[in-house]
Chains A and B, each alone.
Chain A
Amino acid sequence: MSEAETEPLIAIYYAAPTLLAPTASPFVLKLLTYLRMTGLKYKSVHTLKMSSKGKHPFIVYKGKEIADSTLIIQFLNNEFNKDLNTSLNAVERATSLAFQRLCEENLVWCVVHDRWIVNTDAFLGQLEMSNMMKKFMSFYVSVRFRRVQQANLHGHGIGRHSDEEILQIGKRDLTALSNFLADKDFFMGSEPTLLDCTSFGLLEQIIECLPGSEYEQFIKEKLPNLVAYTERIKEKFWSDWKEQCAQKKAKHVNQPKSDKEGETLEKVKVEGQNGSGDAYAKSSEEEDATVQEKKTTGMLPVTDS
């Protein structure tokens, strides 16, 4: 299901797409997948401006800002009389909530840790920006933004563990998801429900947008049902996935400044575009994003509360 031709009612605010995904944020991807599942029409507004809670996504609907993906979904359910969980009984809803908590209050922090502490260069490599901008971002992130995420990780508690312990925690959660999914099509059975929005939003980020990470390796080697699951969701709700990603600007391909950059670009190309290598068209949206990034500095959210 793609965005509407007619004037949409709901404006979703989040940072620009990356080369690997329509969004780097598991929570934004959760919300967009929910909108596609429910058939609600929306318009994406790419911005680095944050919500009143300091996170992405937020929406503006009839002039009112609503922040936090869970609260947004509750609001839209009420406003438009939608309920992806309508077929679930009380026990199933409870199970569904427990797995949502696992994803949103625990596993997502492993992604934050990997992106902002362990494998930052791999993450920055996914962003569509000039090489000079990437150098600046790499410096800015290491000086400022990483500290913010470190404080968040510390506040949550998970940041007090060693890298190896955090990896163990992440693997435990991924194994729990895989064991519960088993051979079902969707987490709660043969039809998608709200949990699928959350888990797809997060699993897709781990499988395709943490290139070279141990999580990616672990899922692909040990938990193939999760990989098949994300492909199933993409086929059903994100047939335009590639078009929704940022497109690489042609000049970047021809002029890698160093071996390291060339390697990063090559990795992104192979990982993110399945070797197609043809998506190098400019678009006005990506230019706006680049301009935005140059104007403001280094606020690249990956989570909301």
Chain B
Amino acid sequence: MSNETAVSEQTSPSSCQTDGAADVTVYGLGRSLVAPCFSPFTLKLQTYLRMAGIKYKFEGSLKMSSKGKIPYIIHKGKQVEDTSFIVEYLNKEYSVDLNAHLSLSEKGISVAFQRLIEENLNWPLTYERWILKYNNLVDILPFTSFKKKMFKLATSSPFGMKSKVQANMHGHGIGRHSKEDIFKIAEKDLTSISNFLGDKPFLMGSKPSQVDASIFGHIGILMFAATDFRTHRFVKDNLPNLVTYCERVRERFWPDWNDRVAENI
């Protein structure tokens, strides 16, 4: 299946995800009750695969990659980690170029917005998910009440996810800001994406491109799976074009969204 050319738009994105065997298996934290996957980077990766027409299987798993992160993929027995490297790798393997129609300057801008989302906006959203709204987190997980209790114990323990997030935020630098300043940073980034998008259907114009996977990964989760966030309310109240953008991308690449979320136990 290597060097397979990208499937044309006639192949439906929803048929890319298979529950049977596939050359590409995506490993990430599993589905939630409100989204096909819990993590923004996993949603980014799956959206890219659907945009590129690459068949894949998604396995929910708590096992991290060798770099301690998710998602990662196994392709023909080989582990590839970090969504940026995974995308570059699959672009080569499958001769995909979602940015072929962009000028050099547009490609540059596209990288810049990817960094804005993944290296900056990612942090206030992670902060809201794992610190501020931590107690609400179990509400969207498809767990029994016992498993929810265990999850809370594990994630709030000294080496659990919560303290890792705090340490990572401090290392990155954003953790040194006040809560209000962190929200201001998020609002500035979201407003910029909205202003740049304007009334275009996709970020870089009338056709989707690679950066749309990054944007939908994070803002899709924010709009569909984090309705109690303060940043969610900010987008809903102030940036209507981002709301319609998320709905547009979901309709086009995730028409099976509701079939792919977890069922309540």
Contact = CB atoms under 8 A, between A and B. Distances in A.
B193 A94 contact: yes
A106 B195 CA distance: 22
A160 B68 contact: yes
Given A106-B119, A157-B69, A97 B111 contact: no
B107 A176 contact: yes
B112 A95 contact: yes
Contact of B115 (A55, A105, A305): A105
A53 B176 contact: yes
A159 to B, nearest CB: 8
Contact of A102 (B116, B172, B173, B181): B116
Q: Is the interface of B mostly helix, strand, loop or mixed?
A: helix
A155 B196 contact: no
Interface string A108-132: 0000000000000000000000000
B111 A172 contact: yes
B173 A94 contact: no
Interface residues of A, number: 40
Contacts of A169: 84
Size band of the interface chain B makes with A = 35 or more
A55 B174 CA distance: 12
Interface string A141-158: 000000000011111110
Q: Is the interface of A mostly helix, strand, loop or mixed?
A: helix
A98 interface: yes
Contacts of A99: 112
Contacts of A303: 173
A173 interface: yes
Given A177-B108, A180-B112, 12 more contacts: A54-B176, A55-B176, A93-B195, A97-B189, A98-B109, A105-B116, A154-B171, A156-B171, A157-B172, A161-B82, A176-B109, A176-B112
Contact of A305 (B67, B107, B174): B174
Interface of A: 53-55, 68, 71, 90-91, 93-95, 97-99, 101-102, 105-106, 151-157, 160-161, 165, 169, 172-173, 175-180, 182, 303-305
Interface string B88-130: 0000000000000000110111111101100110000000000
20 contacts: A53-B176, A55-B176, A94-B191, A94-B195, A97-B116, A97-B192, A98-B115, A101-B115, A101-B119, A105-B119, A151-B167, A151-B171, A152-B172, A155-B168, A155-B171, A156-B171, A156-B173, A165-B85, A173-B111, A305-B173
B169 interface: yes
Nearest to B88: A168
A100 to B, nearest CB: 9
